[in-house]
Amino acid sequence: MDDIKMAKNETSSTEDILIVNNIEVVYSHVILVLKGVSLKVKKGGITALLGGNGAGKSTTLKSISNLLASERGEVTKGSVTFSDEYIHDLDPAQLVKKGVIQVMEGRHCFEHLTVEENLLTGAYTRSNSKEVKDDLERVYNYFPRLRERRTSLAGYTSGGEQQMIAIGRALMAHPTMILLDEPSMGLAPQLVKQIFEIVAEINRKEGVTILLAEQNTNIALQYSEYAYILENGRVVMEGSAESMRDNEDVKEFYLGISGEGRQSFKDVKQYRRRKRWL
Amino acid sequence: MSVELLNFIETVLNGLMSGVMYSLVALGFVLIFKASGVFNFAQGVFALFAALTLVGYQTGQVPFAHVINELFGTNYHNWYASMPNFLAIILTMITMIALAWIIERLVLKHLVNQDPIILFMATIGLAFALEGVGDLMWGSDVKVLDVGIPSGGSVWLEEATIGLAAEGSDYYGMYIDVLNVWATVIAVILVITLALFSQYTKTGRALRAVADDHQAALSVGISLRTIWILVWAISGFIAMVAGIMWGTESGVQFSLSLIALKALPVLILGGFTSIPGAIIGGLLIGVGEKLAEIYIGGYFETGALENWFAYVMALVFLLFRPQGLFGDKIIERV
């Protein structure tokens, strides 16, 4: 565990573009979902937020982008700072103008709009039509497949294409930071790899900071530099992606690789009960 | 041409024209339904309220005169004798926009992401509340609305068609209400403008995006509040046009709010989500009603086939094409 603690100290510098400080999120005034989550995202990097179903990954992202309000959720404690500015009072539209945009889980394309129209809605907050045109061209260069399908309705495109639309649409807002929620959901492994390659490329070329929530721990740790593991609304572990990949517990729980060979399901359950985080 | 054929054409024409009046009401429904997934039961009351307000401004009525007089023992009725039509219409438009803003503030804002049925119930409440406010503000007496739109039979058409019938037959030419012709012209302009707006402008695109997926629209920075105020204001404007047309035809009275019910079968035929659908649906219902009244109405001794025929048409339609003629394609990926 020691090397993980050290990694944490290394990153806590002024380069952090986003600082989430001990936030608590309550849905419908009663359901406590996040129980004090803190994390820091380094500028220009890819940070991963890992964990199983219901761990609170999406909620964390939504409390940053402030999409919580429309789901009757509310940040009751803690603070969120983006570029040294408190942002938890801003509505999503204001945040998009500030450069923070979320790509929602499950793609959420506008089904009855064409692919191109979908991309253009991403530029809703921008007024310079020349720049928007250039950006559209850039998005098409990242996703050549979308150029081919620009006139078809988004509802008729494949799952992979819809994920591309969702990412491209976010890119059209010219963001400094993208909150990417489960890009691998429901996609074939090969397609997942392709999407992650493009995301990494966008991160490299555009300098867009990416906070990635992902269940697919294996691929997320390949492409990110730093990772947090959420369990039950709390951060239970953090560290550089490298140290995470080598950590025995992560291997056991999230990567499915065990030091002692394959265990029976019963054993795993018992082991889990004995050694819970926290 | 035989007299029968001429009569048939006249019936169809009249059906089309009265269909346009239905379409005007249905249009307001479609806009709100598309953008916020709400079936706005209050659309009919919107039309009534707009017509009441227009008459009120025209004749210089003091709003809430009854209440004020009752409370303070005063005797206010009118501020001024009359106001130019143009100015009164502009003022009514502003009032409808303000109304849209108030509704967003008081009702919609608190119901984001709720089930459609809850929103629907809210609009029912809104309908009754607004009807009450209209009553308090402008009084409940039947008013005459005249903004200078000509009405009555078209002499020109009568003269043009009277010679078409065979020599010596008993035919006096076609009758068409000029008011309906005007309604048609206005509806056509309205629809073309709306279609261009939603297809080719940034705001129009945002409007369609909101119609598809609220959450996603929020996530790309589209402000739902702005869009909703806009949509309710536009449908308030359409309600005003409908209110003017219906009010001119049959006087401004509280039964005007029931035209909302006439729009239902139109929507089922045309599809809840299609602007052209609202128009075509209205025309079909209009023609269907008139033809049914003339040609099969005789077999029903009670008459008044016109009142319920539209609903039967809608029922039959629901069986075969539940999304309506032009409703959103139900996208199913296999």
Domain count, chain B: 1
- Give dist(CA B237, CA B243) in Å, integer: 10
DSSP label at A238?
E
Residues 6+ apart with CB under 8 A from B284: B19, B269, B270, B313
Residue A50: strand pairing partners: A214, A229
Task: Label residue A3 by pLDDT band (50, 70, 90).
Answer: very low
Could you tell me the two tokens for B114? 């709720």
Q: What is the pLDDT of residue B329?
A: 65
The CA distances from residue A224 to A6, A160, A178, A241, in Å, are 18, 21, 14, 6
Q: What is the pLDDT of residue B333?
A: 61
Query: Which of chain A's residues have a Cβ under 8 Å away from the Cβ of B212?
Result: 110-113
Strand A177-181, strand A209-214: pairing: parallel
Q: Mean pLDDT, chain B, as a whole number?
A: 87
The pLDDT of residue A98 is above 90: yes
Query: Which of chain B's residues have a Cβ under 8 Å away from the Cβ of A102?
Result: 219
The pLDDT of residue A12 is above 50: no
Q: Count H helices, E strands: chain B?
A: 13, 0
Nearest-neighbour CA in chain A from B223: distance (Å) = 6
CB A102 within 8 A of CB A181: yes
Chain A's closest residue to B221, CA to CA, is A93
Identify whether B95 is part of a domain.
yes
The pLDDT of residue A133 is above 80: yes
DSSP string, B158-178: HHHHHTTSPTT--------BH
CB A51 within 8 A of CB A78: no
Identify whether B333 is part of a domain.
no
Chain A's closest residue to B331, CA to CA, is A155
Q: What is the pLDDT of residue A1?
A: 42
Task: Label residue B332 by pLDDT band (50, 70, 90).
Answer: low
- pLDDT 10s digits, B235-252: 999 999 999 988 988 889
Residue from A27, A67, A112 to probe the interface with B (highest B Cβ count within 10 Å): A112
Strand order in the sheet with A73-82: A31-42, A16-27, A73-82, A85-86
Judged by CB atoms closer than 8 Å, whether chains meet at B220 and A124 is answered as yes
Identify whether B166 is part of a domain.
yes
Q: Put residue B201 in one of left, alpha, beta given phi > 0 → left and psi -120 to 50 → alpha.
A: beta
Nearest-neighbour CA in chain B from A145: distance (Å) = 19
DSSP string, B35-79: HH----TTHHHHHHHHHHHHHHHHHTBPTTHHHHHHHH-----BS
Tell me the percentage of chain B whose pLDDT exceeds 70: 97
Residue from A108, A116, A139, A174 to probe the interface with B (highest B Cβ count within 10 Å): A108
Nearest-neighbour CA in chain A from B216: distance (Å) = 6
Mean pLDDT along residues A125-147: 93
Q: What is the pLDDT of residue B7?
A: 87
Identify whether B334 is part of a domain.
no
Q: What is the pLDDT of residue A261?
A: 59
- pLDDT 10s digits, A44-73: 999 999 998 889 999 999 999 999 887 888
Q: What is the pLDDT of residue A269?
A: 52
Of A107-116, A162-171, A248-257, B269-278, minimum mean pLDDT range: A248-257
Identify whether B325 is part of a domain.
no
- Give dist(CA A48, CA A102) in Å, integer: 14
Q: What is the pLDDT of residue B171?
A: 76
Distance in angstroms between the alpha carbons of the first and the last residue of chain B = 55
Of A91, A104, A153, the CB nearest to B216: A104
Query: Which of chain A's residues have a Cβ under 8 Å away from the Cβ of B217?
Result: 110, 121
Q: What is the pLDDT of residue A71?
A: 83
**Torsion sign, CA atoms A90, A93, A94, A99:** positive
Per DSSP, the three-state class of A202 is helix
CB A174 within 8 A of CB A126: yes
Judged by CB atoms closer than 8 Å, whether chains meet at A155 and B223 is answered as no
Q: What is the pLDDT of residue A5?
A: 45
Judged by CB atoms closer than 8 Å, whether chains meet at B221 and A117 is answered as no
Q: How many CB pairs under 8 A join A and B?
A: 88
Judged by CB atoms closer than 8 Å, whether chains meet at B220 and A71 is answered as no
The more confident residue out of A244 and A12 is: A244
Query: Which of chain B's residues have a Cβ under 8 Å away from the Cβ of A67?
Result: 215, 218-219
Query: Which of chain B's residues have a Cβ under 8 Å away from the Cβ of A111?
Result: 212-213, 331
Residue A151 CB coordination number (10 Å): 9
- Give dist(CA A67, CA A44) in Å, integer: 23
Q: Which residue has the tokens 């089309």?
A: B16
Judged by CB atoms closer than 8 Å, whether chains meet at A112 and B329 is answered as yes
The pLDDT of residue B38 is above 90: no
CB B96 within 8 A of CB B42: no
Decide if A125 touches B, using CB distance below 8 A: yes
Mean pLDDT along residues B135-164: 83
Q: What is the pLDDT of residue A8?
A: 43
- pLDDT 10s digits, A190-215: 999 999 999 999 999 999 999 999 99
Cα A37-A179-A62 angle, rounded to 5 deg: 55
The CA distances from residue A102 to A68, A77, A221, B277, in Å, are 12, 22, 20, 35
Residue type at B264 in one-letter notation: L
Residue from B111, B118, B220 to probe the interface with A (highest A Cβ count within 10 Å): B220
- pLDDT 10s digits, B152-184: 877 888 877 777 777 767 777 788 888 888 888
Q: Mean pLDDT, chain A, as a whole number?
A: 87
Residue B317 CB coordination number (10 Å): 18
Question: Nearest to residue A119, comparing CAs of A172, A73, A78?
Answer: A172
Residue B13: give the domain boundaries. Answer: 3-320
The pLDDT of residue A228 is above 70: yes
Judged by CB atoms closer than 8 Å, whether chains meet at A110 and B209 is answered as yes
- Give dist(CA A113, CA A123) in Å, integer: 15
The pLDDT of residue A278 is above 70: no
Nearest-neighbour CA in chain A from B178: distance (Å) = 39
CB B116 within 8 A of CB B38: yes
Of A17-31, A189-203, B179-193, B315-329, minimum mean pLDDT range: B315-329
Number of residues written out for chain A: 278
Task: Label residue A77 by pLDDT band (50, 70, 90).
Answer: very high
- Give dist(CA A58, CA A76) in Å, integer: 17
Torsion of CA A60, A63, A65, A68, to 10 degrees: 120
- Among chain B, residues having any CB pair with chain A shorter than 8 Å are 112-113, 202, 205-206, 208-209, 211-224, 328-329, 331, 333
Mean pLDDT along residues A146-173: 94
**pTM, entire model:** 0.81
Decide if A131 touches B, using CB distance below 8 A: no
Strand A234-240, strand A226-231: pairing: antiparallel
The pLDDT of residue B217 is above 60: yes
Q: Where are the beta strands (DSSP E) in chain A?
A: 16-27, 31-42, 46-50, 73-82, 85-86, 100-103, 177-181, 209-214, 226-231, 234-240
The pLDDT of residue B59 is above 50: yes
Task: Label residue B77 by pLDDT band (50, 70, 90).
Answer: confident
Mean pLDDT along residues B20-24: 88
Q: What is the pLDDT of residue A260?
A: 61
Q: What is the pLDDT of residue B272?
A: 86
Decide if A61 touches B, using CB distance below 8 A: no
Question: Nearest to residue B127, comparing CAs of B225, B244, B43, B12?
Answer: B43
Cα A124-A20-A206 angle, rounded to 5 deg: 45
Query: Which of chain B's residues have a Cβ under 8 Å away from the Cβ of A92?
Result: 218-219, 221
Q: What is the pLDDT of residue A10?
A: 44
Q: CA-based Rg of chain B, rounded to a whole angstrom? A: 22
Q: What is the pLDDT of residue A271?
A: 47
Strand order in the sheet with A177-181: A100-103, A177-181, A209-214, A46-50, A226-231, A234-240
The pLDDT of residue A272 is above 60: no
Judged by CB atoms closer than 8 Å, whether chains meet at B220 and A170 is answered as yes
Judged by CB atoms closer than 8 Å, whether chains meet at B218 and A70 is answered as yes
Mean pLDDT along residues B224-232: 89
Of B98-112, B197-211, B293-307, B311-325, minimum mean pLDDT range: B293-307
The more confident residue out of B91 and B110 is: B91
Query: Which of chain A's residues have a Cβ under 8 Å away from the Cβ of B218?
Result: 67, 70, 92-93
Tell me the percentage of chain A whose pLDDT exceeds 90: 70
The pLDDT of residue A11 is above 50: no
- Give dist(CA B86, CA B99) in Å, integer: 20
Identify whether B330 is part of a domain.
no
The pLDDT of residue A171 is above 50: yes
Residue B241 CB coordination number (10 Å): 21
The pLDDT of residue A273 is above 70: no
Side-chain half-sphere of B39: how many Cα atoms within 13 Å? 16
Distance in angstroms between the alpha carbons of the first and the last residue of chain A = 14
Query: Which of chain A's residues have a Cβ under 8 Å away from the Cβ of B214?
Result: 70
Query: Which of chain B's residues have a Cβ under 8 Å away from the Cβ of A125?
Result: 220-221
Q: What is the pLDDT of residue B322?
A: 82
Identify whether B183 is part of a domain.
yes
Chain B's closest residue to A121, CA to CA, is B206
Return phi, psi of residue A56, to 5°.
Answer: 115, 15
Residue B255 CB coordination number (10 Å): 11
